[in-house]
Amino acid sequence: MLVGLDVRPVRVEAYIGRGEVAFVLTGLATTTVKESRERVRSAIRNSGLDFPSTRLAVNLAPAELRKDGTGLDLPIAVAIALARAEKRPPPGSAFLGELALDGSVRHVDGVLVAARGLHELGYERVFVPAEDAGEAALIGGLEVIPCPSLAAVVGHLTGVEPIDQATSNVAVTEQPSSVEHDLLEVHGQEEAKRALEVAAAGGHHLLMSGPPGGGKTMLARCLPGILPPLELSEAFEVAQVRSLLGDLPAGSPLDWTRPFRSPHHAISTAGLIGGGGGIAQPGEISRASHGVLFLDELAEFQAPVLQALRQPLETGSVTITRSGGSVRYPARFTLVAATNPCPCGWAGDGIRACRCTPAAIDSYQRRLSGPLLDRIDLQVTVRRVALEQLASEPRGEPTATVRARVVAARRRQLDRQGCLNAQLKPPRLRQLAGLAPHSRRTLERWSAQRGMTARGFHRAWRVARTAADLDGSSEIEEQHVLEALGFRLNDVAA
C-alpha cells in the first residue's frame, strides 16, 4: 500500500477450506479492493488455472490498515494460485499489479515509489506489470520481474517457464543546446533579467509586477532554460511524484529537464497544494519540485490558495492530512509570480490611463498579503518596452551565456555549504555568509529604516550572497547588499 511516498506492506493470505462456495475477502478493504474478487476469479479461469470450487478466504494484513487501489489484484490471485498448488512464493518477494479479465497484468500508479519503499524494507525482488518494469528497475539492488500475465507469473513461480529479470540503464543526458524561450529575444527589461538570473542561481522566489504586455510571462518561461539539468537525486524525486500520479513515461522514466508548472488562477487549494479523499495526492507545488512554479495573475488567485503557499515556501515540503492519514510531499520549487498593479492593469503605465479608483487599486493590491510577500526574495517592476525597441534586433545575452554563470554560481554554493543560498538557515547563514563591517552596516541601516521583518532581513542577506557568487566573489561586498536591497523596495514599515 502507498501512503503518499511511504510504503506499507500488505501480507495476502489465502485459505481454501470446506464449506459452501464463497469468496470471502477480509482486512478493511475498500470498495475498489472488494471489486477485485470478480477480476481475480475471471483472470484465474481465463489463464487456464483452477479456481477453488469450495470456500475461499483471503485475508489482507495488517487488519487495521485501510486497503485501497487495484494493485492488490496480482498478489491476491498469486496467493490463491499458490495455495491451490500448495506452494509458497520465494522469500523476500512482493507483487503489485492490476488484473484484466483475460489474465493480463495492467499498469498501476506508483510502481517506482513502491519499489523504492520495498527495497528499503528489505525485499529482494518485486513482480510488477511488464510496462512498469523499467520504472521499478531504477532501484539498484532490487530484482524486478516483469509480469505480462498471471499465467506467466504462476509459470515462473512453479518453475515451468522463468521470466527474465528486467534491467535499467540510467545515463545522464546532456542539457539541450536549444531552448524554447531564449533570453536573447527579451528586449530591454535589464532589471527583470538580472532578477531572473539571481533567482536561478540561488533558488530565490521572484515577483514581477507591471502592465499587460510588458513581458512578464515571456521572462518566466525563460527561467527553465537558464537552470542546470536535474541532479540524479532530484530527477529521482521528481520521477517518484510523477509515478504516484501515473504521469511517468514508460520508455524514459527519468527526465533531466526541470519541471515548469503554470496552473490557472482558478485552481483550488487541493489542486495547488494537494488533497483529495482518502490519501491526499500531490498538487502542483509537488509537481514543480526542483523546478519552477509560475503563478500568472497572482492577485486573481483565491486568498485561501495563496495563504496555503506560505508554509511550503518556507520549508520546501508540504504535509497534508485527510481521512486516510497524513502524507508529506516535496515542494522545493522556485516560485515565479506575475501580477498587474491594478484591476485594469494600467496603473503607473504612463501611456494608457488607469480607470481604477484608488480604493479599487488598494483593494486589489491587498489581495497579496504581507506575510506572503515577505517570503518572496525578489520583487521587480516590469514596464512596457518602447515599440521602436521591439522592432530592432535584441542586444541582450543569450540563455547559454546566462546559464553558464548560473551553473558556476550554484557550484560555488554546493561546494561551500551543500545547498543553495535560499535554503540557508540563519545559523549557517552567519557561519558561511559573513558580512564585512561596511556591508553589515548598510544592510542593518536600510532594514531599520524600511521596517523590514527578520525574515525579510535574512532573505536580503541570502540574495546578497547569491549576487556575490554570481560575481565570483568570496566576500559579500556593499554593492551586493545594495543590489539585494533594491529587490525589496516594497518592504515598508507597518
- Asked, for residue 344, whether it belongs to a domain, the answer is yes
Strands ordered across the beta sheet of 22-26: 11-17, 55-61, 22-26
Please check the confidence at residue 178 and state whether its pLDDT lies above 60. Answer: no
Considering the domain architecture, whether residues 192 and 341 belong to the same structural domain is answered as yes
177: pLDDT strictly greater than 60:
no
Q: Which of 351, 377, 407 is the last residue of a domain?
A: 407
pLDDT band at 170 (very low <50, low <70, confident <90, very high): low
Residue appearing with cell numbers 527578520:
454
Question: Do 13 and 86 lie in a common domain?
Answer: yes
Same domain, 244 and 354: yes
Is 108 in the same domain as 209?
no
pLDDT of residue 491: 57
User: How many whole angstroms separate alpha carbon 206 and alpha carbon 85?
Assistant: 63
Find where cell 516535496 sits: 330
Domain closes at, from 157, 192, 225: 157
Question: Residue 59 falls within a domain, yes or no?
Answer: yes
CATH number at residue 46: 3.30.230.10
Cα first-last separation, the chain = 50
Q: Does the pLDDT value for residue 245 go beyond 90? A: yes
172 lies in some domain: no
Residue-wise pLDDT tens digits, 414-451: 999 999 999 999 999 999 988 888 999 999 998 888 88
Q: Predicted confidence band at 174 (pLDDT cuts at 50, 70, 90)?
A: very low
The confidence band for 389, taking pLDDT boundaries of 50, 70 and 90, is: confident
Q: What is the mean pLDDT of residues 223-237?
A: 93
Which has the closest alpha carbon to 131: 161, 151, 152, 106? 106
Say yes or no: 392 and 456 in one domain.
Answer: no
Residues 399 and 183 sit within 8 Å (Cβ to Cβ): yes
* pLDDT for the residue numbered 220: 95
Q: What is the mean pLDDT of residues 27-52?
A: 94
**Is the CB of residue 250 less than 8 Å from the CB of residue 280?**
no
pLDDT of residue 490: 67
Report how far apart, in Å, the C-alpha atoms of 174 and of each of 22, 232, 256, 397 are. 58, 13, 9, 22
Answer whether residue 35 is part of any domain: yes
**Which CATH number do you get for residue 278?**
3.40.50.300
* 177 within a domain of the structure (yes/no): no
Averaged pLDDT of the chain:
91
Least confident residue range of 118-127, 222-231, 274-283: 274-283
- CATH number reported for the structural domain that contains residue 449 in this entry: 1.10.8
Q: Please determine, for residue 492, whether its predicted confidence score (pLDDT) is greater than 60.
A: no
CA atoms of 396 and 97, how far apart (whole Å): 53
| DSSP codes joined into one string, 222-280 | HHHHHSPPPPHHHHHHHHHHHHHTT---SS-----SPPEE---TT--HHHHHEE-SSSP
DSSP state of 332: -
- pLDDT tens for each residue of 315-372: 999 999 887 788 999 999 999 999 999 999 999 887 889 999 999 999 999 999 989 9
Let me know how long the chain is.
Answer: 494
Write out the residue range of the structural domain in which residue 436 sits. 424-494
Spatial distance between the Cα atoms of 428 and 430, rounded to a whole number of angstroms: 5
Q: Give helix 73-84 / helix 36-46 axis angle, nearest 10°.
A: 50
Residue 252 pLDDT greater than 80, yes or no = no
> Minimal CA–CA distance to 339: which of 490, 199, 486?
490
**Domain identity same for 387 and 344:** yes
Tell me, yes or no, whether 136 and 281 share the same domain: no
Task: Specify the DSSP element, H or E, that contains 358.
Answer: helix 358-365
pLDDT score of 279:
86
pLDDT in tens, 256-271: 899 999 999 999 999 9
207 plus 112 within the same structural domain: no
Q: Which of 341, 381, 370 is nearest to 358 (CA)?
A: 341
Q: Do 77 and 190 fall into the same domain?
A: no
Contacts of 296 (CB under 8 A, 6+ apart): 216, 217, 220, 262, 265, 337, 338
Residues 398 and 428 grouped into a single domain: no
Average pLDDT over residues 294-306: 96
Q: What's the confidence (pLDDT) of residue 171? A: 52
pLDDT grade for 175, boundaries at 50, 70 and 90: very low
Residues with Cβ within 8 Å of 44's Cβ and at least 6 positions away in sequence, in order, are 50, 51, 77, 80, 81, 103, 150
Closest by CA to 487, choosing from 456, 449, 451, 444, is 456
Q: Is position 164 within any domain?
A: no
Using pLDDT thresholds of 50, 70 and 90, give the confidence band for residue 148. Answer: very high
Give the pLDDT confidence score for residue 478 in this predicted structure. Answer: 93
Domain boundary among 142, 157, 172: 157
Nearest Cα residue to 199 out of 331, 380, 371: 380
What integer pLDDT is reported at residue 186 of this predicted model? Answer: 87
SS3 sequence of 264-328: CCCCCHHHHHEECCCCCEECHHHHCCCCEEEECCHHHCCHHHHHCCHHHHHHCEEEEEECCEEEE
* DSSP H or E stretch at residue 443: helix 437-450
Q: 327 pairs with which residues across the strands?
A: 320
Label residue 494 by pLDDT band (50, 70, 90): very low
Domain count, the chain: 3
Q: Per-residue pLDDT tens for 275-285? A: 987 789 999 99
Distance CA 260, CA 255 (A): 13
Cα pseudo-dihedral 107, 110, 116, 121, rounded to 10: -100
Decide if 90 contacts 156 (C-beta within 8 A): no
Residues 435 and 403 in one domain: no
Which of 31-35, 190-194, 381-385, 481-485 is the least confident region? 381-385
In a domain, 166, yes or no: no
Is 178 a member of any domain? no
Same domain assignment for residues 206 and 61: no
Tell me the pLDDT band of 156, cut-offs 50, 70 and 90: very high
